[in-house]
Amino acid sequence: MDEIDSLYTMLSNLPDFVKDKRIPLKESGKASCQDEQLAYAEAMEGVRTIPPGKGLVRRKAPTKTLRTTAEDDPKTLIENALRDKHQLNVTNMPEFMEGYADGTNPLTLEKLRGGKFSVQKILDLHGYSIEEARESFEDFICSSVRAGINCVKVIHGRGLKSKGTPILKEKLKTWIIQAMHRKWITAFSSALMCDGGPGATYVLLRKTPGKKYMHIIG
């Protein structure tokens, strides 16, 4: 019991011991609240209250509009690309064909190949049998020569559905080199892509007949 009494006596005197040694005890939350208020006041220094009705207004970013011209239209771009023989050069295609009579100026053939001659008359052979196409071609050449026409175009198709070689296209070369037609033809060439490409042929006619050899390419 003596030990317990002495321990009790020691513990009972503890507050006085702390007080005598001037060891500060943690006070209530009053001091911490004051610190928080002081920190808040420092943080809000220079901040002004926004008057009612004058809140922050966010401005919409201006909408960017792209300037377009007629040349930017997709249809126009495609048509311009088709007209540009440097982008779509039919002479580089395996279906290309051309021919010229002896003595034909190379510049004339170049102009024909490049579509520089104005097409004055067109014959479309789509849906014709071989015999019907041949007769139509003969009448077409004769009437064009009589009318003094310089350049014509014959549409024969590419013959992609034909077995083997394109029938009408190959027949056209045969009809051109025949004597009755050859004497009126200076040169012929596959059309530009914008005029039908390998599915059509430009034919350049002469004013007076001539018996000359026809060179065939393709």
In a domain, 124, yes or no: yes
Residue ranges making up the domain that contains 157: 94-217
Give the total number of structural domains in the chain: 1
Q: How many helices (H) and strands (E) does the chain have?
A: 8, 6
Tally the residues of the chain: 218
For residue 179, the model assigns a pLDDT of 77
For residue 214, the model assigns a pLDDT of 83
Question: Residue 111 belongs to a domain with what CATH number?
Answer: 3.30.1370.110
In a domain, 53, yes or no: no
In a domain, 103, yes or no: yes
Q: What is the pTM for the complete model shown?
A: 0.57
Note the pLDDT tens digit of each residue in 145-201: 999 999 999 999 886 665 555 688 889 988 988 877 888 999 999 999 999 998 999
Confidence of residue 96 (pLDDT cuts 50, 70, 90): confident
In a domain, 29, yes or no: no
Residue showing tokens 């190379």: 106
In a domain, 84, yes or no: no
Query: Distance between CA atoms of 38 and 45, rounded to whole angstroms?
Result: 11
Give me the amino acid identity at 38.
L
In a domain, 157, yes or no: yes
Note the pLDDT tens digit of each residue in 124-140: 998 899 999 999 999 99
